[in-house]
Amino acid sequence: MSMHRQEPHVFISYLREDREDIDRICDALKRKDIQVWIDREKILPGERWQIAIRRAIEEGAYFLACFSDAYAKRETSYMNVELAIAVEQLALRPTDRAWFIPIVLKGGRVPDRPIGGGETLRDVQWVDLAEDWEEGLRRILTVLRPEAAHRKGAVEPEYAVILMTDIVGSSRISQGLDQDGFHRTIVDISLSLMESAAEHGGRQVASSGDGMVATFDSGTMALRCALAINRFVGSYKVNEEPLKIRIGLAEGKTFDTDKGFEQDAHHVAARICSAAGPGEIFCTESLGRLAASQNWEYRDRGWVSLKGFAEPTHIYEIIS
């Protein structure tokens, strides 16, 4: 029996320098139940990559080529091999149906690569994510999964990941410092949490002296941010004693409102954060599976009863 995925998938061609943007695209497509094929997830150890890539491109329902400033600066890359195969396939496919979708990232430009008939790739309509990320994704979805794209004027929820943090033992820390020293410590930690969220594409929506709430469009970036925060706080010492932080993450619906996210999702993240121990990162099952797909170290913590919720929640711990 074949070990290769049989469902139609979307092949994404990219450079590793653009991995953060690619993770955001993949997360958005996966939330719409679109199968994504990228080399780092699908090519198995010992597999001949050129054969695997050719098969994946030929069997793919769509081919997304992501062009960035990094691509423009490269003279050679594996992405060019993928493009050559895709151009071959483009010549064999009907001209009245979209299959090859160029995507422009920051600083990128679709190349003048010949595709036959006197045309180049620049004659294929592209999507500029650098200009408008949300609108660009919506346009891509109108092709990949029309029923999943936003209808014009419709109020449909999207999904985001909510990250919540809590410094362990902040009251004990305050007893070991004078008022000015405690204030400086809390300000330093708060600024570092905010900076980490921003660096990973997050948006801070609330902050207290010993915690933060932020939202992310990408589950991968939210998990990376959680790991970065955990490392930073763990390396921070007060009176020679390392600090500890607990972190909780949950996926929930977001709306174009001042509230920004569904209240239930906020409560889930808060309760998951409370359930975590010092130095632990807890998340919902969907985010745990995302971590597993990235080959990160994780632990299944089983079903946990959270205060205020009738049904237990399946919790995963992200380790690295």
Position 168 confidence tier, pLDDT thresholds 50, 70, 90: confident
pLDDT category, 227, cuts 50, 70, 90? very high
* pLDDT for position 1: 34
Architecture field, domain 10-148: 3-Layer(aba) Sandwich (3.40)
Give residue 125's pLDDT: 93
Mean per-residue pLDDT, 261-276:
80
Q: What percent of the chain has pLDDT over 70?
A: 82
| pLDDT value, residue 183 | 63
Selected from 3.40.605.10, 3.30.70.1230, 1.10.10.10, 3.10.129.10, the CATH number assigned to the domain covering 158-318 reads 3.30.70.1230
Which of the four pLDDT bands, split at 50, 70 and 90, describes residue 268? confident
pLDDT tens for each residue of 124-158: 999 999 888 888 888 898 898 775 544 444 444 56
Mean pLDDT of 176-182: 61
- Could you tell me the CA-to-CA distances from 257 to 218, 219, 254, 273 in Å, in that order? 19, 21, 8, 25
Count of beta carbons in the 10 Å neighbourhood of residue 263: 10
pLDDT recorded at residue 151: 46
pLDDT at 170: 60
Cα separation, 17 vs 20, whole angstroms: 8
pLDDT band, very low/low/confident/very high, at 215 (cuts 50, 70, 90): confident
Break the chain into its structural domains and give their ranges.
Answer: 10-148, 158-318
Q: Which one has a higher pLDDT value, 120 or 188?
A: 120
> Which residues 6+ apart lie within 8 Å of 286 measured at CB?
219, 251
pLDDT for position 150: 46
User: Is residue 258 scored above 60 in pLDDT?
Assistant: no
CA distance 184 to 178: 10
For range 230-242, the mean pLDDT: 77
Hey, do 10-148 and 158-318 end up sharing a CATH topology, with the first three levels equal?
A: no
